[in-house]
Amino acid sequence: MTPRTALVTGASSGIGRAIASALVARGYSVVGTSRDPARIPPDSRLAGVDYVPLDLHDTASIEALPSLVGDIDILVNNAGESQCGPLEDLPIASIEELFQLNVFGPVRLTQLFLPGMRARHYGRVVMVGSMLASFPLAYRSSYVATKAAVKAFSDAARFETSPFGVWLTTVEPGSINTGIAERRATFLADGSPYAADFRTVLAALDRHSHAGIQPEVVAELAISAIEAEHPRPLYAVGSQAPLLFALKRLAPRTVVEKLIARGHDLAR
């Protein structure tokens, strides 16, 4: 049997690299994207992964990808960025850029590859989200909004595509140790009245990140979603996910909000 082909965006590091590695180990043919594959250090390149360029900032780069990779069976929309700051202090241009990277780019890639999956009556699209989409946190509003948006696209569109054998699903990691804390874009205006609480949340985020799960744990969950006959809408792992989702079902929303705030050292 010809191995199925998977495309993993942002495959040069973190979760994307772990998912690509897990797919290769299970016999998939894997294509991984990077903004500039030539700059991936040799010791970071995964054997069995064909690296191709993709810049989610660039519409032309997105539109060109299908011709570079051909038919694929599995699309893992992983590439993206993180951002935080008080809503009042976030530059609108930065919010727009984040939506391009985390929402519009992945959604357009999904649109481009769905026709082929539908025609072959098989496909899996995995959106790598964040548990913050299910449990919003102060000073992460723009990032939370992007992750909630891709989950909403996935949740709604799966009803459209599943009759054709194509399933969309979202994987939500909690705190994860990928080094993203060092790459997180932060915004705080001079003299901001939110400064003290914002710095408190940043410190808590860094603490949780450094103690978080490893990318390989998320990769295992993504493989479960990909290989399920009928993937669930949502898979979550890390940050005591089973407990938090149980509380979300059973407890009043205000109680859950207070627990999330206190977990990040905000007294509410």
Catalytic residues: 143
**Which residues on adjacent β-strands are paired with residue 53?**
34
What is the rounded distance in angstroms from the CA atom of residue 54 to the CA atom of residue 43?
A: 21
Q: Which residues, including other chains, have CB under 8 Å from residue 178's CB and lie 6 or more apart?
A: 13, 14, 15, 209, 215
User: Which of 44, 40, 53, 39 is CA-nearest to residue 9?
Assistant: 53
Helix (DSSP H) and strand (DSSP E) numbers for the chain:
10, 9
Tokens coding 66: 């299908």
Got the DSSP string for 119-170?
HHT-EEEEEE--GGGTS--TT-HHHHHHHHHHHHHHHHHHHHHGGGTEEEEE
Q: How far is CA 200 from CA 45, 78, 87, 144, 267, in A?
A: 37, 28, 16, 18, 11
Asked if 203 and 193 touch (Cβ cutoff 8 Å), the reply is no
Q: Which residues, including other chains, have CB under 8 Å from residue 227's CB and lie 6 or more apart?
A: none
What is the rounded distance in angstroms from the CA atom of residue 43 to the CA atom of residue 61?
A: 26
